[in-house]
Structure 1
Amino acid sequence: MAEPLPIERGSLRDLAYETLKRRIISAELAPGQRLFERDIAAELGVSRIPLREALRRLETDGLVLVVPGKGALVAPFTPADVRDLFDLRESLESLAARLAAERAGKEGLWLLRRRVREIEKATARADLSRIALANAAFHAEIVRLAANPLLTSLMRPVELRMQRLFHLTAERDIVEQCAEHGDLYEQIASGDGDKAADCALRHVADWREPSVTMALSWAVPDFDPDRVARARRRKRKQTP
């Protein structure tokens, strides 16, 4: 009987990366939560080497915080972090909407309209997880239609944080969000870059303070990575 082909380390690293990224973005893993390498490696069936490579990549993405000598934590997402994110979103997303309005063809607009329909269907079912995914896909589609490679590159780490934010704030007024996305689509479809940019800016700005307020519910008070790591490690040792 032939021996099974060995799994490449890169594949294991990618498996660990994609799995942890999905769990962090979906809020299955909460901000500040300790990531125990031994447990995760055993669960995923990988060794610690590809897992650590995945954690370093997630740290670059801003989703994981590695504390030297202590291990890794899910990166905190404080009210200040949310404000910083909205500062970038207000500038970059309004630019993306302007460019999309000026450059999107019929096929691109059809794809963007399909994203709006996905949001509408998820909203009708009040499926919060699906709404968060559909919202993120809608905004990513606008960036794609902007057809600016540099903007696309700049938006990648921003989009990962946006996806995480959408899941953490999934209980915002879903009907109003849905309507605003429909409005933004119409402005982009009109081909008027100024109106599309203004609509995108209003859409982002309107949700700034509600999102900052919601961040208080999941933020780790006075976040100290060393203290959190020590506390989680002690708790683990005490577990029978």
Structure 2
Amino acid sequence: MPEEESRADAAYKKLEEDIVTLKLKPGEAVTENQLTRDFDMGRTPIREAIQRLSWEGLVVIRPRLGIIIADINPSDFSRVLEARHALEELLARSAARLASKSERQALHDCAKDMRTAASEPDVQRFLQLDKQFDELVAKAACNPFASKAVAPLQTLSRRFWFRYFGETDLNPAAWSHLELMQAIEAGDEKSAVEKADDLMHYLRRQAAALVATAAPSA
């Protein structure tokens, strides 16, 4: 069972990254057989990964049509971030209070790597590190309920970023993450909440600009 669970997790992570980075494009249809062949995995882990991605809104399972990669609607980015905002503040506060020494060091290292990815710029690596950052904070916060609630919203946010912003503004994004990681690393709960709020407001400004750009002119 643990081996099967690890295979399902590996299948999920690979599929998630392919959807986030648009290797699997919005509206594209795939099948279990195709994914089993491409990933060189059994049907059970692939099926479990698909079910999880369906629950998170990244794929749509349609009888007789197969598995459809979810569309991207620019206006949804703001709604995703609105739902994320309070959860990110809660997790930041808890992580600043509860993170172990090794978790604080891991955040320090992640911040360094994120700055490097932003300066190159390497958007795929940046988003991989963003996911690593989210997972580190989730683990340090010791609140699995909040972590499970926010994880799909974080993934959707990365997908929006890759689709609409790419390499744009990676340095400001990296700096916003850096300040939050430093606050958590320092154990400063108040600052961690403030920096989480700053990060969310930064992303929400980006989302608002996206909606304004995408809106049809009168």
Shorter-chain TM-score bucket reads 0.7 to 0.9
**Pair 1:128-2:133 in alignment:** no
Residue of structure 2 in register with 1:195 after alignment:
191
Aligned mate of 1:144, from 128, 139, 143:
139
Residue of structure 2 in register with 1:227 after alignment:
none
**Pair 1:74-2:80 in alignment:** no
Instruction: State the Cα deviation string for residues 27-74 of structure 1 (Å, max 9, x = none).
Output: 211222222556545545678787555433321232101223332210
Aligned mate of 1:177, from 152, 168, 173:
173
Residue of structure 2 in register with 1:159 after alignment:
154
**Residue type at the aligned position of 2:172:** E
CA 1:80–1:12 in 2, change beyond 3 Å: closer, same or farther?
same
CA 1:212–1:40 in 2, change beyond 3 Å: closer, same or farther?
farther
Instruction: State the Cα deviation string for residues 169-211 of structure 1 (Å, max 9, x = none).
Output: 3323011112212211232234332221121111111112423
CA 1:54–1:148 in 2, change beyond 3 Å: closer, same or farther?
closer
**Residue type at the aligned position of 1:187:** A
**Residue type at the aligned position of 2:69:** V
Output the CA distance in 2 between the equivalents of 1:54 and 1:189. 33
1:12-161 pair list within 5 angstroms: 17-36=12-31, 39-40=34-35, 42-44=37-39, 54-161=49-156
Output the CA distance in 2 between the equivalents of 1:161 and 1:41. 24
SS in 1 for 2:26: coil
SS in 1 for 2:75: helix
Percent sequence identity is 27
Shift, 1:161, TM fit: 2.3
Residue of structure 2 in register with 1:207 after alignment:
203
Structure 2 contact 95–184 (Cα < 8 Å) conserved = yes
Output the CA distance in 2 between the equivalents of 1:107 and 1:67. 44
Provide TM-score, normalisation by structure 1: 0.72
Output the CA distance in 1 between the equivalents of 2:150 and 2:98. 18
Shift, 1:144, TM fit: 1.8
SS in 2 for 1:79: coil
Q: Which protein shows a greater Rg?
A: 1
Structure 1 contact 35–71 (Cα < 8 Å) conserved = yes
Shift, 1:126, TM fit: 1.0
Report how many residues are paired.
211
1:213-224 pair list within 5 angstroms: 213-214=209-210
Provide TM-score, normalisation by structure 2: 0.78
